[in-house]
């Protein structure tokens, strides 16, 4: 390889003999380098390095003063990363050994010739640049390996671990420091997924690029199913021949040096969960399509049976009439079953409205308690803020009642059924975003203390007419219909269970808004419409701004209705039973604007006062039908005190009007 001289490099000469320093300086100038700086001591060399950058230092080993050349080289390298070439006439072995510890780029013997100086400077500068590129490449590689989502373990030719990235550390339960130097199978407790027998070392058992799933038992934590791949780590052999089209370990007649192996671990939990949900969704879709077709055909036949049975009931007497009535009753029962099939096929018409989930649970609480009987206990934990969803009230009641009845059948003579509600935010960067779409959801959890079930039965829990026999879960169409209703509402439902630990169903429904009342923290989930505490409807499409304003108003003690856009706010305002005292809305939002929302709510909430907030100062246009007195504008950014002052002013205006 031909070296290309870069004569723009700055060189520092550290030499206490003035004549020698001047001679080296002139030689470098003749070679075309900028006029080098000269220092006669280690202290002076450090002072020069602090005042200007240098690419190379030519250092006399034997310097006078407190710092010799070796100590000065160590200081330059530690503080400035300046590479060093030693200049020496002679040196003993101890001095040479000390000099090696500073990792010099080379040595040059005195007296120095132009040719020797040119060669050592050129080679040293080139070597330093190559080392810098190598360090940069290693830094990029290390950062990449540590940031990838898969576990990476590197071993040497003896099978001992030399590197583990953070994902591999988490999966195995070993830190990279503790695992370094251990054999791979000492820290990877792998078992065959099908037989539960200890697995062979995948480095030898798998061909390069082949993948296989294993059960991994970490040092601490829960067992995980991982997909493992292994690759040879080879150093390409040097060759002056052209690169062949098909490269391999023996390309160009040379053999690549084997450095070890790379083991890739991939946690398959999320993928298997997604695959299971996809299979279940496809199976349920097929069943739903079949159910819809069957319901159509059944209804045609039932129409005929019911029609003729009614005619027979009118014409017959005595025992014959009783028989005809039995036929009519059986046909009516069958008609109700086809109604369930239609719901399963999602062809039944749903009447969507905005629902307060906590209120629906409160409405069902007496019915569920009655069905559980005296031996079973119902516990509700209705969280705050309360969530609003868009759904069919009767269908949501049916889902909760089905889950409660199945829980009752799963428990023995005693037990506890627990119904919880809360609001959750699925962040786009969170692990949950792999399973659910990002956004805000209302979370319902229905859990029992029954016998539970194993994984095989759990996988079929939502199939029509599937029953676990002993536990009684899934009998009939109840859980299948619950699954269909939740999917139709754009939500998610899943079940968790283990033998002896009961079963829990978790439902996520898209949240269109929230309500936080002052009594919520004490467990008061169903708000009193006559509560004297002012209620504020907060509408802001920017999540971070809405959370901040929510905090300001909540700290002041207001009850809060919250929505992310005007459409959701309008739907909440139409169903909320209590008074809304103040509307705080952003002026410009996607879809309906703040003033348009206020105009829409005015006939429904004539006593409601309005405060607009906006990042613009001149963007409010008075819409038709909106009072000019309602055009209160609070420009962003604003402090908490100003927001609260404006709200208090509006509340005082409303109080004076009432008086």
| CATH code, domain carrying 25 | 3.40.50.2300
Q: For residue 121, is it within any domain?
A: yes
Domain boundary among 210, 242, 267: 267
The confidence band for 475, taking pLDDT boundaries of 50, 70 and 90, is: very low
Nearest-5° angle of CA 139, CA 142, CA 148? 135
Q: What is the residue-averaged pLDDT of the chain?
A: 79
Compute the distance between CA of residue 55 and CA of residue 131 in angstroms, rounded to an integer.
13
Domain that holds residue 302: 276-344
Nearest-5° angle of CA 584, CA 587, CA 592? 100
Q: For residue 366, is it within any domain?
A: yes
Number of Cβ within 10 Å of residue 356's Cβ equals 23
Residues 626 and 644 in one domain: yes
Compute the distance between CA of residue 70 and CA of residue 61 in angstroms, rounded to an integer.
6
Number of Cβ within 10 Å of residue 269's Cβ equals 13
Q: For residue 246, is it within any domain?
A: no
Residues 183 and 122 in one domain: no
Beta-carbon contacts of residue 423 (< 8 Å; ≥ 6 apart): 383, 385, 386, 387, 440, 441, 442, 443, 511, 514
Q: Which backbone phi and psi does 216 adopt, to 5 degrees? A: -105, 125
Query: What is the DSSP track for 156-210?
Result: ETTSBEEEE-HHHHHHHS--HHHHTTSBHHHH--EEETTT-PBPPPHHHHS-TT-
Q: According to the model, what pLDDT value does residue 253 have?
A: 52
Q: For residue 520, is it within any domain?
A: no
Q: Is the pLDDT of residue 250 over 60?
A: no
Percentage of residues of the chain with pLDDT beyond 70: 79
pLDDT digits (tens, 9 = 90+) for 56-85: 999 888 888 888 888 888 888 888 888 899
Q: According to the model, what pLDDT value does residue 521 have?
A: 37
The confidence band for 471, taking pLDDT boundaries of 50, 70 and 90, is: very low
Residues 48 and 79 in one domain: yes
Residues 202 and 190 in one domain: yes
Contact between 262 and 234 (Cβ < 8 Å):
no
Specify the higher pLDDT residue, 278 or 116: 116
Helix (H) or strand (E) holding 631: none
Q: According to the model, what pLDDT value does residue 506 have?
A: 93
**Total count of residues recorded for the chain:** 659
pLDDT digits (tens, 9 = 90+) for 181-193: 889 888 888 888 7
Please choose, from the candidates 95, 117, 91, 115, the residue with its C-alpha nearest in 3D space to the C-alpha of residue 106.
117
Residues 577 and 467 in one domain: no
Q: According to the model, what pLDDT value does residue 647 have?
A: 92
Lowest mean pLDDT of 118-122, 189-193, 344-348, 625-629, name the range: 625-629
Pairing of strands 352-356, 376-382: unpaired
Lowest mean pLDDT of 121-130, 319-328, 512-521, name the range: 512-521
Please choose, from the candidates 541, 578, 548, the residue with its C-alpha nearest in 3D space to the C-alpha of residue 386.
578
The confidence band for 478, taking pLDDT boundaries of 50, 70 and 90, is: low
Specify the higher pLDDT residue, 7 or 332: 332
Lowest mean pLDDT of 69-83, 341-355, 356-370, name the range: 341-355
Q: According to the model, what pLDDT value does residue 8 have?
A: 78
Please choose, from the candidates 27, 45, 43, the residue with its C-alpha nearest in 3D space to the C-alpha of residue 35.
27
- 478-488 and 318-344 are packed helices; what angle lies between their axes, rounded to 10 degrees? 40
Residues 122 and 44 in one domain: yes
Specify the higher pLDDT residue, 517 or 370: 370
Q: For residue 249, is it within any domain?
A: no
Distance of CA 500 to CAs 447, 450, 453, 573, Å? Answer: 13, 7, 8, 45
Residues 373 and 507 in one domain: yes
Q: Is the pLDDT of residue 207 over 90?
A: no
The confidence band for 467, taking pLDDT boundaries of 50, 70 and 90, is: low
What is the average per-residue pLDDT within 211-237? 82
Q: For residue 252, is it within any domain?
A: no
What is the average per-residue pLDDT within 632-652? 88
Lowest mean pLDDT of 45-49, 164-168, 529-533, 542-546, name the range: 529-533
Residues 338 and 381 in one domain: no
pLDDT digits (tens, 9 = 90+) for 268-310: 776 666 666 556 666 656 666 666 556 666 667 777 787 778 8
Q: According to the model, what pLDDT value does residue 620 have?
A: 46
Residues 356 and 313 in one domain: no
Beta-carbon contacts of residue 295 (< 8 Å; ≥ 6 apart): 338, 339, 341, 342, 345, 347
Compute the distance between CA of residue 444 and CA of residue 423 in angstroms, rounded to an integer.
9
Compute the distance between CA of residue 577 and CA of residue 527 in angstroms, rounded to an integer.
9
Bridge partners of residue 257, in order along the sequence? 235
Residues 592 and 642 in one domain: yes
Helix runs in 411-523, H state only: 455-458, 478-488
Contact between 73 and 45 (Cβ < 8 Å):
no
CATH of the domain at 226: 3.30.450.20
Q: For residue 557, is it within any domain?
A: yes
pLDDT digits (tens, 9 = 90+) for 571-599: 999 888 889 999 999 988 888 999 999 99
Domain boundary among 314, 344, 374: 344
Q: Is the pLDDT of residue 337 over 50?
A: yes
Contact between 57 and 81 (Cβ < 8 Å):
no
Compute the distance between CA of residue 540 and CA of residue 53 in angstroms, rounded to an integer.
54
Bridge partners of residue 389, in order along the sequence? 355, 511
Please choose, from the candidates 56, 76, 69, 77, the residue with its C-alpha nearest in 3D space to the C-alpha of residue 12.
56
Q: What's the domain count of the chain?
A: 5
Tokens read off for 174? 């070993």
Residues 401 and 544 in one domain: no
What is the average per-residue pLDDT within 117-137? 83
Residues 451 and 587 in one domain: no
Q: Is the pLDDT of residue 419 over 90?
A: yes
Domain boundary among 309, 344, 379: 344
Q: According to the model, what pLDDT value does residue 172 have?
A: 87
In this structure, the dihedral spanned by the alpha carbons of residues 296, 297, 298 and 304, taken in order and rounded to 10 degrees, is: 110
The confidence band for 242, taking pLDDT boundaries of 50, 70 and 90, is: very low
Compute the distance between CA of residue 328 and CA of residue 319 in angstroms, rounded to an integer.
14
Percentage of residues of the chain with pLDDT beyond 90: 13
Helix (H) or strand (E) holding 40: none
Q: For residue 239, is it within any domain?
A: no
What number of CA atoms fall less than 13 Å from residue 133's CA on the CB side? 6
């Amino acid at each position: 390889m031909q070296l290309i001289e870069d004569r723009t490099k700055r060189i520092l000469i550290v030499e206490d003999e003035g004549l020698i320093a001047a001679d080296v300086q002139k030689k470098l100038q003749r070679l075309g380098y900028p006029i080098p700086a000269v220092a006669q001591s280690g202290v002076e060399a450090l002072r020069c390095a602090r005042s200007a950058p240098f690419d190379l230092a030519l250092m006399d080993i034997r310097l006078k003063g407190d710092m010799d050349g070796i100590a000065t080289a160590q200081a330059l390298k530690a503080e400035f990363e300046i590479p060093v070439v030693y200049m020496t006439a002679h040196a003993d072995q101890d001095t040479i050994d000390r000099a090696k510890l500073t990792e010099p780029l080379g040595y040059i013997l005195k007296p120095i010739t132009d040719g020797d100086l040119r060669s050592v400077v050129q080679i040293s500068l080139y070597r330093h640049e190559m080392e810098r590129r190598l360090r940069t490449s290693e830094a990029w590689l290390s950062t990449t390996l540590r940031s990838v989502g898969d576990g990476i373990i590197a071993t040497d030719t003896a099978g001992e671990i030399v590197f583990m990235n953070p994902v591999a550390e988490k999966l195995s339960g070993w830190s990279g420091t503790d695992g370094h130097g251990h054999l791979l199978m000492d820290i990877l407790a792998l078992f065959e997924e099908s037989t539960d027998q200890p697995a062979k070392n995948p480095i030898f058992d798998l061909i390069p690029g082949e993948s296989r799933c294993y059960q991994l038992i970490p040092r601490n934590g829960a067992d995980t199913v991982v997909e493992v791949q292994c690759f040879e780590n080879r150093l390409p052999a040097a060759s002056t021949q052209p690169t062949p089209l098909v490269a391999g370990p023996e390309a160009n007649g040379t053999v690549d040096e084997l450095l070890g192996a790379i083991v890739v671990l991939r946690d398959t939990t999320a993928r298997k969960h997604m695959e299971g949900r996809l299979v279940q969704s496809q199976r349920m879709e097929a069943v739903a399509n079949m159910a819809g077709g069957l319901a159509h055909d059944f209804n045609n036949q039932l129409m005929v049976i019911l029609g003729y049975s009614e005619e027979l009931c009118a014409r017959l007497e005595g025992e014959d009439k009783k028989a005809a009535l039995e036929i009519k009753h059986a046909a009516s029962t069958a008609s109700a079953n086809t109604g369930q099939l239609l719901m399963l096929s999602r062809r039944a018409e749903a009447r969507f409205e905005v629902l307060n989930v906590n209120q629906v649970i409160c409405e069902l609480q007496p019915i569920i308690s009655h069905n559980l009987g005296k031996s079973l206990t119902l516990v509700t934990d209705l969280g705050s803020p309360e969530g609003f969803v868009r759904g069919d009230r009767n269908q949501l009641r049916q889902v909760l009642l089905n889950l409660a009845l199945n829980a009752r059948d799963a428990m023995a003579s005693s037990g506890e059924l627990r119904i919880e509600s809360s609001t959750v935010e699925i962040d786009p960067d969170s692990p949950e975003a792999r399973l659910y779409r990002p956004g805000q959801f209302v979370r319902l959890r229905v859990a029992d203390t029954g016998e539970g079930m194993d994984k095989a039965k759990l996988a079929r829990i939502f199939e029509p007419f599937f029953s676990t026999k002993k536990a009684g879960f899934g009998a009939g169409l109840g859980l299948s219909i619950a699954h269909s209703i939740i999917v139709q509402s754009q939500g998610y439902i899943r079940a968790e269970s283990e033998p002896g630990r009961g079963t829990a169903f978790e439902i996520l429904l898209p949240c269109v808004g929230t309500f936080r009342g002052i009594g919520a923290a004490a467990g008061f989930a169903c708000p009193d419409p006559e509560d004297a505490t002012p209620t504020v409807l907060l509408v802001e499409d920017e999540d971070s701004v809405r959370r901040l304003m929510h905090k300001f108003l909540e700290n002041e003690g207001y009850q809060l209705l919250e929505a992310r856009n005007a459409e959701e706010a309008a739907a909440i305002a139409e169903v909320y039973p209590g008074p809304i005292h103040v509307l705080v809305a952003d002026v410009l939002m996607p879809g309906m604007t703040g003033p348009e929302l206020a105009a829409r709510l005015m006939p429904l909430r004539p006593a409601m006062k309005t405060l607009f907030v906006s990042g613009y100062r001149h963007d409010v246009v008075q819409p038709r039908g909106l009072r000019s007195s309602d055009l209160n504008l609070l420009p962003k950014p604003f402090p908490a005190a100003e927001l609260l002052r404006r709200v208090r002013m509006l509340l005082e205006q409303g109080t004076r009007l009432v008086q």
